[in-house]
Structure 1
Amino acid sequence: MKRFALAALMACIGHTAFAADAGHWGYAGAEGPEQWAKLSPDNYACQSGKNQSPVDLKGSIHAALKPLKMDYKAGGNEVLNNGHTLQVGFTPGSALWLDGERFELKQYHFHAPSENLIAGVSYPLEVHLVHADKDGNLAVVAVMFKEGAENKALAALWPQLPKEAGLKTALATPLSAAALLPAKHAYYRFSGSLTTPPCSEGVRWLVMKNPVTVSKAQVAEFAEVIHHPNNRPVQALNGRPVLD
């Protein structure tokens, strides 16, 4: 399962055939989230999985979580429009340390509106920083964006977005994921899955408690490129603890 999840992740990073590989999935109608498991046998977890993402983060249990250790370099060198999201790919060198293991930052991508909710609240934008350790285990750091001042990190990225699905562009200046993080790194933690087909489970989710700002115009620019909401509905916790 770990290798399968990583393979799906790397396919998403590496080429635009990912959508076709996963059975031409989408976010509405006959290809929408309720149909994902029917589109390909590989997507069985989208329906039968019990530890699915995203979730509504509520009723958290105080667990004195350790501070996150992150070392993010300016390694974001390309941005891909894969038809489902806009995704910044990274060269090796940026990492998160979690549970005694090093997780390499592979890519970050965006969902509008947010996929995860915090105490029932939806945000206009969410970014997922996707990491993998040497064994293919995945960890995702999620950051929420609330409407407010223009986001400086997005202001550097948005003008370079490829406008059509299937296009990839090189970034003029390498970007660091650190610019997307809030000043304080308090977070929620839960065990979940990929939020896109094949919905593989065993993903460690770390959702920042504090949002950063994004302007209404910046959210509109993202929508103009993607053309549709790209958030999977929240999934049942099924007894999973949410730690803080």
Structure 2
Amino acid sequence: MNKKKSRIRISGFKLTQILLCLFIAAGFASCKHENAHWAYGGDSGPEQWGDLSTDFQACKLGKNQSPIDISNAKTTDLTALTLNYQDTPYVVENNGHSIQINLENAGNLTIGEDTYKLLQFHFHNPSEEAVDGQRFPLVAHFVHKSDAGDLAVIALFFTTGKENALLKPVFSNLPAEEKESLKGDSAINPASILGNELAYYAYNGSLTTPPCSEGVRWIVLKKPTELSIEQLSAFKELYSGNARPLQPLNARQVLQSR
């Protein structure tokens, strides 16, 4: 009888071991899924994004993906952009994929009856969007979010030329280490960076990074601004080639303001 009880205890112990292993394995798989590493090259590059996590499936299955090559845009009376921005404190963050400027209370973008709060802007080299097949040395994406959770992104192209005085405090002291953040010494006004000429292209797209969620309202300003070669080089020392390849336009149409 004692021998039989011993066998039962051993079986129960083994069962507990098996269940524990399965639990750990399931938890590991879940963590791996939630924290899937992605990059701009290698085994975690753009061609593999959609396979890195079920949360990233839009990266390979989506039909309204960004960025795109802007060409043959239809000219129409697009609603004017109203920039209700203000001076705001900021933090420059190296997020592991780009340099991102987080804004504390920057104000809003209004397009017709839609209002979006400006949250942050970040950079890509080269520009992710192309115009008639040509990419720019750099683009800034100004990310906005409405109270309903809808996203609107303004893209501002950069060409090399004179130093960008408005962004000098940012580019002269970029955080070199991943996840490092530096608080700005003074306030910044995004409206000054974007300028006064707000003619734009518009189309429906997605996030250009995983999870590649669609339904993003894209506003691509036609007029680029400038930065110096030194400023561009400072960014490229940290992030060169952090741009997703161009995506098919499919059935979408790009509009442009007059």
TM over 0.5: yes
The TM-score normalised by the length of structure 1 is: 0.89
Query: Who is 1:16 aligned against?
Result: none
Residue identity over aligned pairs, in percent, reads: 42
Runs (4+) of structure 1 exceeding 2 A deviation are none
Find the counterpart in structure 2 of residue 12 from structure 1.
none
Distance 1:167 1:115, change over 3 A: same
* Residue 208 (structure 2) pairs with residue 195 (structure 1): yes
| Distance across 2 between alignment mates of 1:191 and 1:68 | 16
| Alignment counterpart, residue 233 of structure 1, candidates 224, 238, 245 | 245
Partner of 1:24: 37
Q: 1:141 aligns with which of 133, 138, 154?
A: 154
Q: Give 1:151's aligned amino acid.
A: N
Are 2:224 and 1:211 aligned?
Answer: yes
2:24 — aligned with what?
none
**Amino acid of the structure 1 residue aligned with 2:107:** S
| 1:163-182 aligned within 5 A | 163-182=176-195
Counterpart residue number, 1:39:
52
User: Within 5 Å, which residues of 2 pair with 1:110-189?
Assistant: 110-189=123-202
In the alignment, is residue 101 of structure 1 matched against residue 114 of structure 2? yes
Distance 1:92 1:182 in 2: 19
Report the AA paired with residue 231 of structure 1.
A
Counterpart amino acid of residue 235 in structure 1: Q
Q: Distance in 2 between matches of 1:224 and 1:181?
A: 24
Matches within 5 A, 1:57-72: 57-72=70-85
Give 1:108's aligned amino acid: F
Q: 2:89 touches 2:105 (CA, 8 Å); kept in 1?
A: no
- The CA deviation at 1:21 is 4.5
Residue from 82, 96, 102 that aligns with 1:83: 96
Q: CA deviation at 1:160?
A: 2.8
Task: Indicate the RMSD between aligned Cα atoms, in angstroms.
Answer: 1.5
Q: What's the offset of the Cα at 1:136?
A: 0.4
- What letter matches 2:241 in structure 1? P
Unaligned runs of at least 5 residues, structure 2: 1-32
Aligned pairs, number: 225
Structure 2 CA distance for partners of 1:22 and 1:59, relative to 1, 3 Å: farther
In structure 1, C-alpha distance between the alignment counterparts of 2:35 and 2:47, rounded to whole Å: 14
Aligned partner of residue 220 in structure 2, secondary structure: strand
User: Could you say what secondary structure the match of 1:75 adopts?
Assistant: coil
Amino acid corresponding to residue 238 of structure 1 in structure 2: N
Distance (Å, rounded) in 1 between the aligned partners of 2:123 and 2:148: 25
Gaps of 5+ in 1: 1-19
CA contact (8 A) 2:108 2:117 kept: yes
